[in-house]
Each structure stands twice: as C-alpha cells, then as structure tokens.
Chain A
Amino acid sequence: MIRVEQLRKNFGTVAAVNGVTFTAENGAITGLLGPNGAGKTTTLRMLYAVMRPDAGSIRVDDVDAIADPHEAQSRLGVLPDGFGLYPRLTAREHIEYFGELHGITGAVLRKRTEALLDLLDMRAIADRRASGFSHGERTKVGLARALVHDPQNVLLDEPTNGLDVMSTRAVRTIVRRLKEEGRCVLFSSHVMQEVSALCDSIVVIAHGQVVARGTPDDLRRHTGHANLEDAFVALASPRPGGLE
C-alpha cells in the first residue's frame, strides 16, 4: 500500500507537484492520470526515492520513504519513464543484476528469473544481448528486473507508451495478474482508455495537483460527462482545484 500526503516539489519557481495526496491500495490498480507535464513522473520519482520532496509524506506499506528510502525501495518494483538497458548484457543478466542488488542470490534468484522469463514470455530473448531489442522487448526486460525481488508495490511510469498492440496487451495482462496476487499497482498514463479499462481507482493530476479521485464511474458522475474522455478534458483544463 502506498500513502501520499501533501507532496510538494518545486523546480526553481515552478511548482511541479503542489500538494498531491492519494492512497493506492493493495490488490488494486490505481491509475495516475494526467496530461503531459502534469507532475505524474515527478510524483513517482519521489515515491521511489530518487528525488527528494520539498514537503509532504510518503509511506510505502508502513515505511516512511523519506526517512528510510532504501527500505521503501526494497518494497517497490519500479519501471521508470524512458529507462535504459545495458546493450552488452543479456536479458537474463539484467534481471539477475537487479536481483543481486536486492540481496537475492543462488537458487532463489535462478528460480525467480526463470519464473519471470516464463511470465513475460521472454524465453527467446533471455540470453541475447539487449542492444538489438525492440521497444516491446526492452519493456519486458524493464518489467522483469523491476519484479525480480517480488515487491509488494509496483510503480509503472507510462509502461505502455509507444508499445504496439501486442506488447500493450501483454503489459495489461501482467498488471492484472499483479493485482490478483494482491499487490498494490500504481501506474501512470495519459491515455484515457487504458486507465478506464484497467484501473480500479483513478487519480487525475493536472498542474501538480490532484483534481479528481475515484472509480471511473465516480469521475463520470462528478463531471457530468458520460464519456470519460470528456470528463478528463473537463478536469485537466486549467482550472485547478475547482472540481474535487
């Protein structure tokens, strides 16, 4: 479970994240929905502790992520936005490298790696170097190494961005499966259909603030738009704070 309260981050004079509060429950998929530049990536980066918030609190399970970032990180599986791979390492080595850094070794590591290779249908690329991987294959490697330490909470920053239909479906299947396993999945997107199809709960962010929160149906009711896309446009248009 992830609990975020009054999170703030400024870049110079720009308030990139301006008092964001939400909760992502276990066994549920929470969508962080917002237009480009709304503050989704910045929020996630503070959650996985590579960026320090200026104010606010973050709790991952029951760990204070600001006071004890490493403990929080070991409970998080993260797929950052626009992540890179090591071109000279194989898919398997990527998974094992991150597994070892999380303290997993030997037979356990091998078992986890094999399970992920099967889960993500990566057998064919397991021992190939990453330099020639397609975008879909790279995403799979990124997902696998994010999940190698069996994290309770999974953060995915626009995981389907730029993927073809097949890969997008594969990612959605994984995300649903993670939910069924009782994990807390938080994932950001600017694509309406994706969020509405996948998420149990949606947090709409615009201009660094949460402008709406609830199930897809809640949002439709809130805005009075039957179509979720219209609802999103109404929420994301530059009138922050008026609709919650």
Chain B
Amino acid sequence: MTFARSLRQIAIVMRKELVDSLRDRRALWSIAFSVTIGPVIIAFMMNRVADRQREAEQVRIPVVGMQHAPALIDWLRQQSGVQVVEGPANPEEAVRNQEEELALVIPADFVHTFNQSKPVVLQIVSDSSRNDARPSVERVRRLLQQYGAEIGSLRLIARGVSPAAAQPIVLEDIEVSTAQQRAAQILTFIPMFIIMAGFIGGMQIATDSTAGERERGSLEPLLVNPAPRLVFVGGKWLAAALAAMVSTALTTILCANLPRFLPLDELGIRFRIGLEHLPGIIGAAVPMCLFSSALQAAVGTLARSFKEAQSYMGVLVLLPMIPGVVGALYPIGNAPWMYAMPMLGPYVLLTNVLGGQVPPMNAFLISAGISIVAAAIMIRITATLFESERIIFGR
C-alpha cells in the first residue's frame, strides 16, 4: 500500500521534472548538442581522411625544365593519377608562399649526363613543415625512385649484369597507419560519444532538479509533501536517467546512419551499427545512464546554485572522456577488472559490441551490477543530503 503510493509519487515527481525540463531551452539545447556533437565530429574527421587519401592518389607535379627530359615526363604521365604541369618560374618562392605543394626541377644537362650513365640530380622542392603536402611529396619521391630503379636495371642488363647484384638489400615499407586505419581509429570514438551523450543528456535535469531547486527555494515546500526523501530523489533521478537514455539512443541512431553520409566504402572500411547490436548497446548504455544521473544528482545537491553545479559538472564531464581518449591512444584491452569500473566498463563493452566481438554475458552482468550498485549508493547519499538542514535551508 505505502509502497504502491511511493511508486506513484516517484512517477509524479519524474513527470513534473520531465515536463519542466522540456520547457527549458537550456536543457533542450544541451541535449541537442550532446547528441549531435559526436556524429558531427566523426563525419568531419572522416571526410578529411578521405580527402587526404584522394589528394595523395591524385598528384599534381609542377615541373621546371620539362623540355630537358621528355622520356621521364612521358613515363610520369603514364602513371595513374599523375598530372604533370609546367612549373613556376621561381619554384622555391612558389613553394614557400604555398602557391604549390611541391615542384620538380629538371636540370638542363639531363640528357647529356643521362647518356654518359652518370647520376642526374633532380630536385624536389618542398616544405617539410607542411603536413598536408607530405603525402604528395612522398608520392613524387617514390615515383622518381621507381623510375631511377627501372633505368638502372635496364643499364645493368645491357651490360650483362643481373640487376639483383646491384641490390644487396631491398627495403620494404610496411605502413601501419593507412588511411583505412586512421579512419577506423576515428570510429573508435563512437563508444565515447555515445557515453558522453548519456552523461550530458541527463545533466541538465539532474542539476536543475537539485541545485536549481535549492537555489529557487522550492525544495522546502516540496519536502512538506508527505513522502519519504527517497521518493523525491528517485523521481528526479529517473527523469534525468530517462533523458540520458534518450540522448544515447539518439546518438546511436545518428552514428548508425553515418555510413550513408560518409565515404566509408571509398576508404575500404566496413562499419555498421544494426539491430543485431541493439541488445549489446542497451546492456552497456542503460546501466551507465542510471549511474551517471545518480552521480550528477548527488553532486548537484551539494551545490548551492545552478551555476555552482555547472562548474562541478564541467569537471565531471571529463570522466566519461578519459577511457575514450586513452582508448584512442593505447588500445584498451579486455582485462576483466575493466568491466567492474562504473564508467570504463560500459565503454569497453560498447567498443567490443560495435567492433563485432560480443563480450560474454558475465561481462554485461558485472558491469550492469556495479553501475546499479554505484547508482543506489549515490541515490542513498542524495536522499541523506535531502534530510540535511544545511541542504534544505542553506541557500
């Protein structure tokens, strides 16, 4: 009887907080921001990677002294994606002023030196401080080395020597950071953004219904209503958690639709969030939302004003970013203890789920169990704070 009454009162408080926050522009903006910022950043970064890759394949080579080496120019023109153009009069000036990414300078005595089988000096003018020009410069360097190697081999063969004899070692570059991997790395931010959306999505309600309530002086009249403190805290917490869950859901939906707008195929990346991931995402994100809202409500209650609460939240919001940022720099493993950490557990679970490796059921249970216990502790603390005269009357 009393329990049923308490549940009804929790629902009443929750509904009031939701209605209240739906009318709060600040709350709606912060939810909209938290939901879209992640997918927007990912889309932007992906497009940059794709552009770079396209740029590196499509190389434009301004050549000074084109007429001195017609055979070389012909050979370059036959290579895919290469466009040879007449170079600037003063190549160093042009590169320094960023009019050109690079320039190839062919000396006037090219044919003469070439015919004597002596090394011809070709100059690549570039600015190594320009990161964006580096792929093009690299490509040109590789093309010219390739041309040199082909000519060298032909000369040795003409003299009856195996080209292999002139090559005591062969260097093979294995580039680990391909565009593909860079793009895949950007996608590892998705779990972090989903968690961030949950964290920020519930924040406004969690602070407005605690610190805001204290600041307005509406807490005292509220507590005159006949209900246990846990009822008031529970209703506020559930409202915040619900907003957090809606935010994570929206971010997940946006991320799932990213492949429609991004050149993922072009980058050779297979990325998909589909219905088959849904149970895993819910299993990881829902307990996280329950915990983060409870934590925010407890911290918000300690703040005397909305502003004060916001400054605490500014620090708290770094919390869900830590595993994401660390995870992007060092691959986070799957050590079992990670599932037992309130914010880290859901992050690792999400990373695995989205990466296509479904973690064992135990991992979900441990993570959810820990989050719920931690949430319960936070709610208990908040309810105790709601008993405190310093909190109720201290403004």
Which A residues lie at the B interface, using CB under 8 A?
A: 45, 48-51, 69-71, 73-74, 76, 78-80, 82-89, 93, 97-98, 100-103, 129, 142, 145-146
Contact = CB atoms under 8 A, between A and B. Distances in A.
Contact of B224 (A48, A82, A84, A100): A48
Contact of B23 (A70, A84, A88, A100): A88
Contact of B20 (A69, A80, A86, A146): A86
B12 interface: yes
A71 B221 contact: no
A85 B217 CA distance: 8
A85 B220 contact: no
B224 A50 contact: yes
Interface in B11-28: 12-13, 16, 19-20, 23-24
Nearest to A82: B217
B218 interface: yes
Interface of B: 5, 8-9, 12-13, 16, 19-20, 23-24, 213, 216-221, 223-228, 389, 392-393
B226 A102 contact: yes
Contact of A80 (B13, B213, B220): B220
Q: B13, B19, B225: which has the most chain A beta carbons within 10 Å?
A: B225
A76 B224 CA distance: 9
A103 B5 contact: yes
B239 to A, nearest CB: 13
Q: Which 4 A-B pairs have the closest CB atoms?
A: A84-B217, A84-B216, A84-B218, A70-B226
A87 to B, nearest CB: 7
B221 A80 contact: yes
Contact of A74 (B12, B218, B226, B228): B226
Contacts of B20: 86, 88-89
A195 B319 CA distance: 56
B9 A84 contact: no
A69 B229 CA distance: 12
Nearest to B5: A103
20 contacts: A50-B220, A50-B224, A50-B392, A73-B225, A73-B226, A78-B224, A80-B220, A82-B217, A83-B218, A83-B221, A84-B213, A85-B216, A85-B218, A86-B20, A86-B218, A87-B216, A89-B20, A93-B16, A98-B221, A101-B12
Contacts of A100: 12
A97 B16 contact: yes
B104 to A, nearest CB: 67
A153 to B, nearest CB: 12
Contact of A71 (B225, B226, B392): B226
Q: A73, A79, A86: which has the most chain B beta carbons within 10 Å?
A: A86
A114 B216 CA distance: 26
Nearest to B21: A88
Contacts of A88: 20, 23-24
Given A89-B19, A146-B221, 9 more contacts: A45-B220, A49-B224, A50-B220, A78-B221, A80-B221, A84-B213, A84-B218, A84-B221, A85-B218
